[in-house]
Homo-oligomer: A and B are copies of this chain.
């Protein structure tokens, strides 16, 4: 998810706090793991139209170990490449050279997740979300030597340092530049490392894991650079990727109980919560995210075996679908987005008709609730409704077997993927309709990795593995080829400066909802893509391997 547009925010009902749930969540707060990374090389970016961002990182004239011997004055600067995306706290030692430091030193530090950040600068950014997210700091140092430690956490691979001014009498040197990285996942954390036959898929799996790790802080963050919050729909995808990799069940449990602690008086689950200054529900509400709480809980109980949590959360699961249910036509039981209130999301695509897709989401979630009931030894509560909605789903299939939504019969990938995932039709029907819809010339395509994931998951669900891998290698693989260490909030193969916010410098380049290829590759796609062998490696080992692949043996 991402920062929500102002017009999507509604006035909300009061919160019905569950302090017991809040305590469970608080007790599960992870001790963040910390480790230190140092820059691998000094680089410049040369123009190169053959590259996605139009620039290519080139080693500077001097190696990184010569940086401390360089003296920099007004207008000088450099760009450091740490060789890997990190979330953490920067520090460096600043010393003065010359007759005396007779004036302060003013620096601009720009933290780059992408080459755009450190090559375009941060001036004149036109964006409708807060420019306070822009990753630059201007700092003033009165006296050297000084150990400069930035108190704010940044998310970056590149660091651009610009000396705004020293004085005619002195220059400065930079040494001991380092980042204290943080994550809930330590460098010693061990995980399964399947060796895929295809090296691009291997990289995609790796980048997925890095994305997930950097988003795993004291909650599953949306993006560590910007919008550092917990969103429920995104949590679902992160949790699935986590079950296939780190298997950190406590962090998922903590987040689920955080949501359950702050449901509204009508039992709806907020779309998003804040941890600081204290646990607070956001005013954002999204119908699909609300209902997905049932699926998140079911997935968690199955993956962890923690039935006790399932029992505790059962009332919340029952409550989370209530607002979505108000959208059902009383006669047909088909979801109609005009019938109830609340923001329906699925994707950021403008003009998207949500009825068919939300029908799929809701059916999917009701089934998850029924499955959870079975696991918990309860009676499944939505058996009749599932049957009714399955029957109703026929209205979203056109006579020529294409998924359609709304009064104008809009064709979209969103409708198709969620109706398939909900298994609303016999598999062969679903498979054919999915093929037809994806090939339909008028079909609205996804704008976000979030919906691309659901398209891929739907394809894998009906056995269309080759099409699924094709999308994965072109979409997520496109980001890897463009230089991604972590997967991005948004990716437009045609336009490196595309942004839902008006300016790509406010985009996040490590974003939770893009981390799912590892879940599919290690799950539904595993057999299809082929795995040579499976080893157990530490996260530190994977990181070192990545850095070497990025910067060589420098």
Contact = CB atoms under 8 A, between A and B. Distances in A.
Interface residues of A, number: 41
A131 interface: yes
A9 interface: yes
B3 A282 contact: no
B104 A6 contact: no
A168 B6 contact: yes
Contacts of A133: 103-104
A299 to B, nearest CB: 27
Given A6-B168, A166-B130, A274 B140 contact: no
A227 B166 CA distance: 13
A406 to B, nearest CB: 29
Given A138-B138, A276-B143, A100 B164 contact: no
Interface string A73-106: 0100000000000000000000000011111111
Interface in A150-166: 152, 164-166
A493 interface: no
B102 A282 contact: yes
Given A102-B3, A102-B229, A277-B144, A130 B282 contact: no
Secondary structure dominating the interface of A: loop
Nearest to A141: B132
B103 A167 contact: no
Contacts of A176: none
Interface string A123-138: 0000011111100011
A66 interface: no
A167 B132 contact: yes
B152 A132 contact: no
A17 to B, nearest CB: 16
Contact of A132 (B6, B165, B283): B165
B152 A102 contact: no
Contacts of A440: none
A298 B3 CA distance: 70
A48 interface: no
Nearest to A107: B132
Interface of A: 3, 6, 9, 74, 99-106, 128-133, 137-138, 140, 142-145, 152, 164-169, 226-227, 229, 274, 276-277, 280, 282-283
